[in-house]
Amino acid sequence: MIAPENGARQLHLNAFLMSTGHHEASWRLPESNSFSGTDVAHFQRLAQTAERGKLDSIFFADSPVLHGNVAQRPYTSLEPTVLLAAIAAVTERIGLIATASTTYNDPYNLARRFASVDHISGGRAGWNVVTTAGDAAARNFSLAGQPAHSQRYQRAAEFLDVAKKLWDSWEDGALVGDKAAGVWADSSRVHPVNHEGQHFQVEGALDVPRSAQGHPVIVQAGSSEDGKDFAAVYAEAVFTAHQTLADAQDFYADLKRRTTAAGRDPQSIKILPGIVPVIASTEAEALRLERELDELILPEHAVRQLAGQLRVSPESLKLDRQLPADLPSEDDIEGAKSRYTLIVNLARKEQLTVRQLIGRLGGGRGHRTFAGTPEQVADAIAHWFQSGAADGFNIMPPVLPSGLDIFVDQVVPILQDRGLFRQEYTGRTLREHYGLARPANSFAAATAQLPHRVPQPA
């Protein structure tokens, strides 16, 4: 094994887990358990596999709406923070990241939920912060339609500010547990947040003490202009989608600049593009597997899904023709703006027919799909990492569990041999895996000016 040079930059690898896998048709393979989306043991085994590979974290997407046509593929999913609690019980080091919406939650309940997962896991929790688009989700929460894109991000910014105050509402050292004196906690180190804002009025304090990480790691996945500005201020890791090296390099440089402009160290934000690796012992076999999966896509379902993403009628999309010329502009799109632009640009640049576009999106919904040998996949990852396009990758196996098994068993060792990825975990928290500092408590500086006194019982 080749040891990394002292202080050498190393990859961060996250496993994005999704029932039978990311490919649209993965559930139709003979090896797949079509009902694995509600099988806790399935996800526990996947997390243990990722931990065996020394990956930084696992990640679950989520949305408060039943997306898509349930005839097309498995769309059900367990509430991810509940699932992470079950996974925490059977793992020791792997980071645990779940998605939760700032549009259809309140800061107190969500801050409490993620603080609880952080305690349960010993400091391994991360929150993928999303704003939720779409009228269907809005109607699940007594609203006639979705809030505007800019309004959702304004609410998200205040939501994060309140959540951080709540996580800080207990200072480190507030727990005393002095049985002789009868003092369980130092009440002078527990602070109501007393937040009065445009969207939220929260008194606090949280009913969960400060956790091992201080705050769960904040992850973000929006790549619109509003999304990048939000990430520059708040995010510590960013999941993103790019089809080309040049686009990934532009995004990487832009977001690092914005992070610096926001007064933060650009190294404090980790940019992780998604990659869907189709892996086999030969390139020809990998391409055959990719074709086999693509041939299992049912075009009628895929056309309806694509039409929804493009905000056009399904009848306007002809399988053997290119996209219509008169598509909406990104300014007309209220949700998933960056993904809309990625899909349209991919289709226009490569002059794809609708049928070809469906095949390209079937593997990863706009994320880069790469078919090849373990060595070729390692080469692709290393090239982007060493070319200023990524700090690591969001690994999106097209089929589970086999796609994660082969990545961990055959790709990770190559990256380790090259000194690009850790041989062993060196920390126990997700922050330590990502090389992130533990945030200072916002109340601690004020408290430090006062003489420390453990209160006596009345």
Which structure tokens are listed for 43? 């996800």
Where the chain has pLDDT below 50, the residues are 1-6, 452-458
Give the single-character DSSP code of 77. Answer: -
Q: Which domains does the chain have, with CATH numbers?
A: 12-170+192-278+366-437 (3.20.20.30)
Is residue 137 packed enough to be buried (19+ CB in 10 Å), middle (13-18) or exposed (0-12)? buried
pLDDT the model gives residue 325: 79
DSSP 369-409: EEEE-HHHHHHHHHHHHHTTS-SEEEE--SSTTHHHHHIII
State the pTM of this model: 0.87
Q: Of 83, 82, 75, 11, nearest to 45 (Cα)?
A: 83
Contacts of 375 (CB under 8 A, 6+ apart): 414
Alpha carbon distance 167, 202 (integer Å): 13
pLDDT the model gives residue 251: 95
pLDDT in tens, 35-84: 999 999 999 999 999 999 999 999 999 988 887 677 777 777 899 999 99
Q: Of 4, 34, 2, 3, nearest to 19 (Cα)?
A: 34
